[in-house]
Amino acid sequence: MELMAYKDKDSIIHKLDARTKLILSSTFILLAFIFNHPLFLFILFLFSICLCYIAKVHKEVFVKTFALFPLILLSFFLWSFFYKPSYISSTQTTDIVISLGPLNTTTKALMYGLAMPFRIVVVLISSILFLMTTKLSDFIYALKKLGLPYTWAFTFGLSTRLVSTIGNEFTTIKQAQASRGLETEKGGLVRRIKAHIPIVVPLTMKGLELSDQLGMSMSLKGFNPNSKRTFYRELKMESIDYLVIAICFASLVISIILRINGIGVIT
Amino acid sequence: MVKEYNNSVEKIVVENLQFSYNSSGFALRNINLKIKENEFVLLTGASGSGKSTLLYCITGVIPHYIKHGEMIGNVWIDGKNTKEVSLEELAKKIGIVLQNPESQIFGMTVEEDIAFGLENACMPRYQIHKKINEILNFLELEKFREKPPESLSGGQKQRLVIGSVLALQPEILVFDEPFSNLDPWGVNLVVSTLEKLKKAGKTILLAERKIEEVIHLVDRIILLENGEIIADKPPREFFADCKLIEKSKINLPQVVRLAYKLESRGIKFKRFPLTVKEVLEGLNGFNNKN
Amino acid sequence: MDSIIKTRNLWFAYEEGNWILKGINIEIYQGEVVSIIGPNGCGKTTLVKHFNGLLKPLKGKVFVNGVDTSETSVAELSRVIGYVFQNPNHQIFSTTVLEEAIFGPKNFGIENAEKAAILSLKEVGLVNKIKTSPFFLSHGEKERLSIASILSFDPKVLILDEPTTGQDATTTKRILKIVEKMKRKGKTIIIITHDMEFVAECSDRVIVMNKGKVEKIASPHKIFSDEKLLRKIQLSPPPIVTIAKELGMVPLPLSVDEFVKRFEKYGVNGIQG
């Protein structure tokens, strides 16, 4: 199971502290919601693409977003033809730009229709960019540094590893039972649920066995969630991290000011 | 009554140990054994004979982790009674490597996994760093330092587990059937590590049924049957006792079975052979290549 | 001899770019016992999963009884190709041993499924444990139950994935006997194993795999005599074979009994022959 989206490349973005990257991605997402004018969102979109190029993951990001292209196209359609916020209808109801049978769209709705896909894409790209440039262990450590209790972070990390272990077990068990003629896709709902018993039982046994052994191993390695511990991994903020965070913060402040003054919004 | 054990050469002392998980019978009884420093002891027996249970009692899993069941008798590790010392303390004296590497790996990378036990022990960061370097070097895992454990082969994973156990510098190492999930290549990797550990002065207790892989390293073999020790001898003496061997259900190395059959046909060996080399030496007079 | 399984330039990968099987061309004939050996990760299990359709080739083709597996369902193929998975715990789920053995025949709609199940349990020596819960069996008994639960629907081909791993000597001997018995019944048996002694004692042919390719397919004698191959894949033959090589025994004995017999017969001088 390909849960880890991390792609190991040599780029400035990869070298940033995990916390910085988290802030960077979050900034993009926030900006995408502060503005709703298609032009501004388009510029934001271009910025996010640039970031992907800098991080050398543009190809991989493109592949992942391309898969969602139909969804994006659909959102354009839905927003343009069905979005009618109250303040639009009270003003320019006669400004119909495109008409498709019973559906019609006004300039404003069309602008929304253009803006939303870009918003969705910016949110997607920022998130994928973060996952592709941040190692999972760094992410967990960053969460811990930002205040998450160690046991939570540790459990989160262990669960992600276990997900793939249990996932593999599930596949093997399913195949083993299929080799004895078990068919899980046939018949009505009840029949299909019953057909999963020969898979769930061995899986549960395995899960219990694994958790017992893991618990034993953890104790044998002196693990005690309640007592003090030291941390080997360290995340150090370099000057570039502070610079990037400063830029993010500044962008947010500027954007909020612009928004308050009505710039970047559809009127 | 718990008495202090003062003989420092004896690393593991088990006295009158008896254990039962529940009322349906004893898993272990009448266990008495002593293991000296730098000895390499092989614990063998059919499945269900009590090997794992004995190892759990020796490493403190019983009674600290497995709290149910009844343990009578005493186990001293390096002079300390396992009932009186915490599992954390014991981990610094005796480390155990279990069968399945999957259930013993906790780090996202090889480096982090080795660090785990040290972090739990509150070791300062620079010391952890030094220790990790030492261990990666010793186990030849340096090139996997930043890799996720999932990318390692079975034998390498088992080596990683050994590394994470070694990190706390226990003098005694216990292995519970480490070869069972490994292919021959993985077994070779682990055997070469065992050789290194023996050379480094560690005391090793290995429970395994694949005897032939380690026979050249073993000082003593302890045979367990139905929870009792029925033999505790050096390998040559152990295998020379035909009556004992015939009764037991253990996997005999092919070389040993060959030696028995040859002896039963009248071919006598001056020294009972345990390895391919020793068989050839013993048959030297019959080698028609000469 | 008819080939019951045939692969033609078989290529397979679980994820893009990472080929596990690289152009495999093999034929397995009816009635033979074939062992597949090689380091973990070389593709043995991946290859074998193509035989009952669990995996379909990305490139190339796989034929079972002349039929292209890419056009056949797993259920149809499994009826003919019985695959005993490595870990019995991946299959065991029923309340009694008998129910476990009936599972397969019931799924395939076989008449007299109970009779067939009891028969297969007899073959593996578990008929006295019919009412026992399979979870309380020993490791060796579980392995035999696994085999019985596949034999119960009488497939033509039996695939055993590491049947002797983690087993005691008694269970290994029993499994060897089961293989011999099934061979006498005309079944084709494919064994994935690391146990070179087992390979030597029961295989007609050995397929050696390495890094997704087939290195060599030959009789155990030829494989264990091929020094270059053994060095390349860093494999050691069973100890008696090594001893026999040093002593100049030709052909190489494949079991302890064979070794002793030849040694006795030819005595001190004349080992060859």
Contact C91 A2 (CB under 8 A): no
Q: Residue B205's pLDDT is what?
A: 96
CA A92 to mean position of chain CA atoms: 37
Q: How far apart are CA A64 and CA C116, in angstroms?
A: 51
| pLDDT above 70: residue A189 | yes
Q: Which amino acid is at A81?
A: F
Higher local confidence (pLDDT), C86 or B3? C86
What stretches in chain C show pLDDT beneath 70?
1, 266-273
Minimum Cα–Cα distance from C244: chain B residue: B280
Q: Which residue has better confidence, A224 or C119?
A: C119
Query: Mean pLDDT over all residues of chain A?
Result: 82
Work out the average pLDDT over B65-82: 91
- Chain B adjacent subunits, 3+ CB pairs under 8 A: A, C
> For an interface test with C, which of B260, B261, B289 has the most C Cβ atoms less than 10 Å from its Cβ?
B261
The identity of residue B148, as a single letter, is P
pLDDT of residue A91: 47
Looking at residue A67, its pLDDT comes to 77
- The Cα-based distances of A202 to A166, A177, C126 in angstroms read 11, 10, 21
Q: DSSP character for C252?
A: P
A150/A138 Cα distance (integer angstroms)? 13
Average of pLDDT values for A204-212?
A: 89
Q: How far is CA A214 from the centre of its chain?
A: 30
In whole angstroms, give the CA distance from residue A218 to residue B55. Answer: 17
Q: Which region, left, alpha or beta, applies to residue A149 given φ > 0 means left and ψ of -120 to 50 means alpha?
A: beta
d(CA B156, CA C40): 12
Alpha-helix runs per DSSP H in chain A: 12-15, 18-34, 38-54, 58-66, 69-82, 86-89, 107-133, 136-145, 150-178, 189-195, 197-220, 239-260
Give every strand in the sheet of C157-161, ordered side by side. Answer: C81-84, C157-161, C188-192, C33-37, C205-210, C213-218
Closest chain B CA to residue C259: B258
Decide which of B206 and A224 is more confident.
B206
Percent of chain B with pLDDT over 90: 53
Q: Which residues of C fall within a CB distance of 8 Å from A197?
A: 93
What is the C-alpha separation between C100 and C126, in angstroms, rounded? Answer: 12
For residue B8, pLDDT over 50 is answered with yes
C positions 223-242 inside 8 Å of B (CB): 234-236, 238-240, 242
Q: What is the 3-state secondary structure (H, E, C) of C152-200?
A: CCCCCEEEEECCCCCCCHHHHHHHHHHHHHHHHCCCEEEEECCCHHHHH
Instruction: Provide mean pLDDT across the span B256-275.
Output: 88
**Helix %, strand %, coil % of chain B (to 5):** 40, 20, 40
In whole angstroms, how far apart are CA B238 and each of A189, A214, C268? Answer: 61, 36, 29
CB B250 within 8 A of CB B223: yes
Confidence grade of residue B250 (pLDDT, cut at 50, 70, 90)? confident
Q: Is the pLDDT of residue A79 over 90?
A: no
Check CB contact of A175 with chain C, cutoff 8 Å: yes
Q: Which of A158, A213, A232 sits opposite B125 (nearest CB)?
A: A232
Q: Of chain A residues 102-141, which have a CB less than 8 A from chain B?
A: 135-137, 140
Taking CB atoms and an 8 Å limit, are C243 and B184 in contact across chains? no
Residue B246 structure tokens: 């015939």
Say yes or no: C203 contacts chain B, CB-CB below 8 A. Answer: no
Q: Taking the CA of residue A27 as centre, how many other CA atoms within 13 Å lie in the half-sphere pointing to its CB?
A: 22
Distances (CA, A) of C57 to C83, C138, C217: 18, 37, 21
Q: Is A198 on the interface with B (CB under 8 A)?
A: no
Contacts of A211 (CB under 8 A, 6+ apart): none
pTM for this predicted structure = 0.83
Q: Are strands C59-64 and C3-13 parallel, antiparallel or unpaired?
A: antiparallel
**Taking CB atoms and an 8 Å limit, are B108 and A231 in contact across chains?**
no
Q: Is the per-residue pLDDT at A130 higher than 60?
A: yes
pLDDT value at A92 more than 70: no
Alpha helix positions (H), chain B: 51-59, 61-64, 87-91, 110-120, 125-138, 154-166, 184-199, 235-240, 242-247, 254-264, 276-282
Give the gap in angstroms from C-alpha B94 to the nearest C-alpha of chain A: 10
Q: Is B117 helix (H, G, I), strand (E, B) or coil?
A: helix
Whether residue A230 lies within 8 A of chain B, CB to CB, comes out as yes
pLDDT, chain B, mean: 88
Could B122 and A228 be called an inter-chain contact, meaning their C-beta atoms sit closer than 8 Å?
A: yes
Neighbours of B116 (CB within 10 A): 23
Chain A hits for C91, CB-CB cut-off 8 Å, are 173, 176-177, 180, 198, 202
Judged by CB atoms closer than 8 Å, whether chains meet at C243 and B250 is answered as: no
Report whether pLDDT(A103) > 70.
Answer: no
C169 near B CB under 8 A: yes
Amino acid A87: pLDDT: 46
Look-up of token digits 């993951």:
A57
Helix (H) or strand (E) holding C100: helix C97-107
Kindly list the residues from chain C whose CB atom is less than 8 angstroms away from the CB atom of residue B262: 260, 263
Of the residues C208, C235, C240, the best mutation for testing chain B's interface (the one with the most B CB atoms within 10 Å of its CB) is C240
Decide if B178 contacts B149 (C-beta within 8 A): no
Query: Which A positions 59-98 lie with beta carbon below 8 A of chain B?
Result: none
What is the model's pLDDT at position B23? 82
All residues of chain B having their beta carbon less than 8 Å from the beta carbon of residue C197 are: 254
Longest CA–CA span in chain B (Å) reads: 66
- Cβ <8 Å between A224 and B117: no
Q: Does C95 touch chain A (CB under 8 A)?
A: no
Between A and B, how many CB-CB pairs are < 8 A?
Answer: 86
Nearest Cα to Cα of residue C127 among C101, C150, C151, C104 = C101
CA angle A194, A200, A204 (to 5 degrees): 150
From chain A, the residues in CB contact with C108 under 8 A are: 181
Chain A residues touching C103 at Cβ < 8 A: 180-182, 198
Q: Do A221 and B106 touch (CB under 8 A)?
A: yes
Distance (Å, whole) CA A182 – CA A61 = 39
pLDDT score of A96: 66
Q: How far apart are CA C102 and CA C117, in angstroms?
A: 5
Distance CA B273, CA B282 (A): 7
**Do A180 and C49 make contact, defined as CB atoms within 8 angstroms?**
no
- As a whole-number percent, the residues of chain A with pLDDT over 90 amount to 18
Distance from CA of B24 to the nearest CA of C (A): 14
pLDDT at A88 over 80: no
DSSP track, B36-83: ETT-EEEEE-STTSSHHHHHHHHHTHHHHT--SSEEEEEEEETTEETT
Q: Residue B290's pLDDT is what?
A: 34
* Residues of A (187-226) whose Cβ lies below 8 Å from C: 197-198, 201-202, 205-206
Q: Are A35 and A255 in contact (CB under 8 A)?
A: yes
Do C149 and A180 make contact, defined as CB atoms within 8 angstroms? yes
Provide CB contacts within 8 A for A267, sequence distance 6+. Answer: none
Closest CB from B47, B254, B265 relative to C264:
B265
pLDDT bracket for residue B6 (50, 70, 90): low
Q: Among A53-62, A172-181, C36-45, where is mean pLDDT lowest?
A: A53-62
**B277 contacts chain C (CB < 8 A):** no
CA distance B117 to chain A (A): 5
Strand C33-37 and strand C188-192: pairing? parallel
Least confident segment among A109-118, A198-207, A210-219, B196-205: A109-118
Q: Which residues neighbour A47 within 8 Å (Cβ) at sequence distance 6 or greater? A: A28
Q: How far is CA C240 from the centre of its chain?
A: 22
Q: CA of B257: which chain C residue's CA is closest?
A: C256
Two structure tokens written together for A146 = 């930002």
Residue C219 CA to residue C29 CA, distance in Å, equals 14
Whether omega for the bond prior to residue C39 falls within 30 degrees of 0, making it cis, is: no
Interface check for A60 against chain C (CB to CB < 8 A): the answer is: no
- Asked if A205's CB is within 8 angstroms of C89's CB, the reply is yes
How many C-beta atoms surround the C-beta of residue C15 within 10 A?
Answer: 8
With a CB cutoff of 8 Å and minimum separation 6, the contacts of C257 are B261
Nearest CA in chain A to C158: A179
Question: In 3D, which of A204, A213, A36 has the Cα closest to residue A116?
Answer: A36
Tell whether B48 lies on the interface with C, counting CB pairs under 8 A: yes
| pLDDT score at A267 | 64
**Which of B132, B128, B130 has its CA nearest to residue B110?**
B132
Locate tokens 């000469």: which residue? B290
- Nearest Cβ partner of C40 from B154, B253, B255? B154
Chain A partners (3+ C-beta pairs within 8 A): B, C
Q: Do C104 and A181 touch (CB under 8 A)?
A: yes
B63 preceded by a cis bond (ω within 30 of 0) = yes
